[in-house]
Structure 1
Amino acid sequence: MAAAVLLMGSSVFAQKGKTVNFTGTVKFPDTENKYPIYLGKYEGEGFKRAFKAIDSTKVDANNNFSFKVPADKPDFYQVRVYYMDRIDFWANNDNIHVNVRGIDTAKMKIKNPPYIYMENTSVENDVINDVNLVGYLDYQNMIAVGKEQYQAKLAKEPLWINYMNDGFDRINVDREYRIKYLVNKYKDQPTVMYALNYLSTKRHQDLIMSTLDHLTKKFPNLDQAKAKKKEILDGIEQAKKISNGKKAPDFAFPDLNGKKWSPKDFKGKYLIIDFWASWCGPCRQEIPHLKEVYKKYKEKGLEILAVSVDAKATDWKKAMDDEKMTWPQVHAQESKPVMASYLFSGIPYLVVIDKEGNIIEKNLRGESLDKKLKEIFGM
């Protein structure tokens, strides 16, 4: 019996050719064996990219697991531990080990992914370790800023409130500075493509393209760099279609009663489309501000359409009950097409549309949203 249990700690998917080992130790394993641990990779282009599992396993008697990962052709892979901890890595020469938390034992489940450090890595996977640390610290800073903005409003201290209104912008500037540093530091590594995902193709197009061209020259067989460049060029073309002044892409999603709402339903009104999700801390933190905006401008012709990208309708419904928003709420369970048409991957993502359905501005919130609405309504 013990031998059978121990066997569960290794993947059963036979690999031919060159492989590397990915091993892990789970602090809080799934004792009921409800959830497997997956090895997989992302397939498809752009917003159609989706995770596809190629192997699965469970922990052994010592809470360890392992995979043999194909490495004949180096590529990015991901290990998902119970769909809670996710670890991206480059399979080439490294036999990686990670320590992960596993099952979330907290009474209140809040999506705040931990930082997972990959051990035994070469410089190729050091790139991913470094980028993930930037992303982790960025998210923690966003949570802290949200809390401080709330405290500043409670204190009703104007100087503190004004300073904190720019809190998220300061985080964005800091993150971009760090990522650009890592891109320049690791420009000779194929895994620098992972860092490029954190840069805006609008603001950093030259750096991204020059880095991809450098990789293609240095690694002629690196198809991932060629595909990434094509994806970016396609995105640039789509960005032109949704530039300010262009018609907002249409969509239609159902509310709680099954009625479908579309941006076209608000013709003759100024409209804020708020793309959000129940698990997104910054999204939830923006809602009190949207309530203030709605109260201030509703009688002047402003409406809001909240579009949840939650995977589960139950999570969306619970968040609506908690937040008690009074404007139309719809659920985009299949959210990839609308995310592709509006070209966003992070939320909250707010789009302001004029009375004729044309885009005024995108990716606004907090202070930037207030400024734009003051321009529109002359207040």
Structure 2
Amino acid sequence: MGNAFQTFLRSSITVFACLILIACSDDVGLDQHGQKVAAERLQGQWLVINYWAEWCAPCRTEIPELNALSSQLAKESVQVVGVNFDALRGKELGTASDAMGIKFTVLEEDPAPRFKLPRAEALPVTYIVDDKGQMRERLLGEQTAAGITKRLQALRDEG
């Protein structure tokens, strides 16, 4: 009976340890390059989440602005993140992202449920999410780096 209990105890500890490790490796899916995106990369900082599609002409004009914004705000705890409206995955997502000239992270998995974002029904649409994970603003239509920077500053000043 002692051996059976020790075996059960060891197995239980192993399962428990595996569950802890799985919880610690929380991620939000893959990016356009097939790399895992760790959840902590998106937590505790402001997010600019942009929905785009290849067939969307204003999206094509907006992407260079978002690339510039991403570079400009990298040191300010702000992440620019893209989401393909057509839910492309894998190689298709990488190819489309490259064709659009996207330099910022594009997520395969839609983060809308995580941040309680309303469904995007028009493109382009950009959401600003604060450092606590709360959606603060929805920007419809083509945006500029300067315009988003101004809105971010105003929202940060509001607290």
Contact 1:270–1:353 (CA<8 Å) still a contact in 2?
yes
**CA separation of 1:296/1:352 partners in 2, compared to 1, >3 Å: closer, same or farther?**
same
Find the aligned partners of 1:329 and 1:353 in 2 and give their Cα distance: 16
Q: Which has the higher helix share?
A: 2
Q: Pick 1 or 2: higher relative contact order, CA cutoff 8 A, min separation 6.
A: 2
> Where does residue 121 of structure 2 map in the other structure?
345
TM-score (norm 1): 0.29
Contact 2:67–2:104 (CA<8 Å) still a contact in 1?
no
Contact 1:278–1:315 (CA<8 Å) still a contact in 2?
no
**CA separation of 1:305/1:263 partners in 2, compared to 1, >3 Å: closer, same or farther?**
farther
> Where does residue 71 of structure 2 map in the other structure?
295
**Partner residue of 2:60 out of 279, 284, 289:** 284
Contact 1:309–1:335 (CA<8 Å) still a contact in 2?
no
Which blocks of at least 5 consecutive residues in structure 2 are unaligned? 1-26
**Partner residue of 1:371 out of 131, 135, 150:** 150
Aligned residues: 126
**CA separation of 1:369/1:279 partners in 2, compared to 1, >3 Å: closer, same or farther?**
same
**Partner residue of 1:327 out of 104, 113, 117:** 104
Which amino acid letter does the alignment assign opposite residue 326 of structure 1? Answer: K
The percent of aligned pairs where both chains have the same amino acid is 24
Which amino acid letter does the alignment assign opposite residue 271 of structure 1? Answer: L
Which amino acid letter does the alignment assign opposite residue 46 of structure 2? Answer: Y
Map 1:77-96 onto structure 2 (within 5 A). Answer: none
TM-score (norm 2): 0.61
**CA separation of 1:336/1:330 partners in 2, compared to 1, >3 Å: closer, same or farther?**
closer
Find the aligned partners of 2:153 and 2:88 in 1 and give their Cα distance: 36
Find the aligned partners of 1:354 and 1:373 in 2 and give their Cα distance: 9
**CA separation of 1:296/1:256 partners in 2, compared to 1, >3 Å: closer, same or farther?**
closer
Find the aligned partners of 2:134 and 2:38 in 1 and give their Cα distance: 14
Map 1:116-127 onto structure 2 (within 5 A). Answer: none
Which amino acid letter does the alignment assign opposite residue 131 of structure 2? Answer: K
Contact 1:351–1:362 (CA<8 Å) still a contact in 2?
yes
Q: Does 1:318 align with 2:95?
A: yes
* CA-to-aligned-CA distance 1:124-160 (integer Å, 9 cap, x gap): xxxxxxxxxxxxxxxxxxxxxxxxxxxxxxxxxxxxx
Map 1:131-280 onto structure 2 (within 5 A). Answer: 252-261=28-37, 265-280=41-56
**CA separation of 1:264/1:351 partners in 2, compared to 1, >3 Å: closer, same or farther?**
farther
Contact 1:263–1:357 (CA<8 Å) still a contact in 2?
no
**CA separation of 1:290/1:263 partners in 2, compared to 1, >3 Å: closer, same or farther?**
farther
Structure 1 residue 295, shift from structure 2 partner: 2.4
Which blocks of at least 5 consecutive residues in structure 1 are unaligned? 1-250
> What is the root-mean-square deviation in Å for CA atoms of aligned residues?
3.4
Contact 1:254–1:330 (CA<8 Å) still a contact in 2?
yes
Structure 1 residue 315, shift from structure 2 partner: 4.5
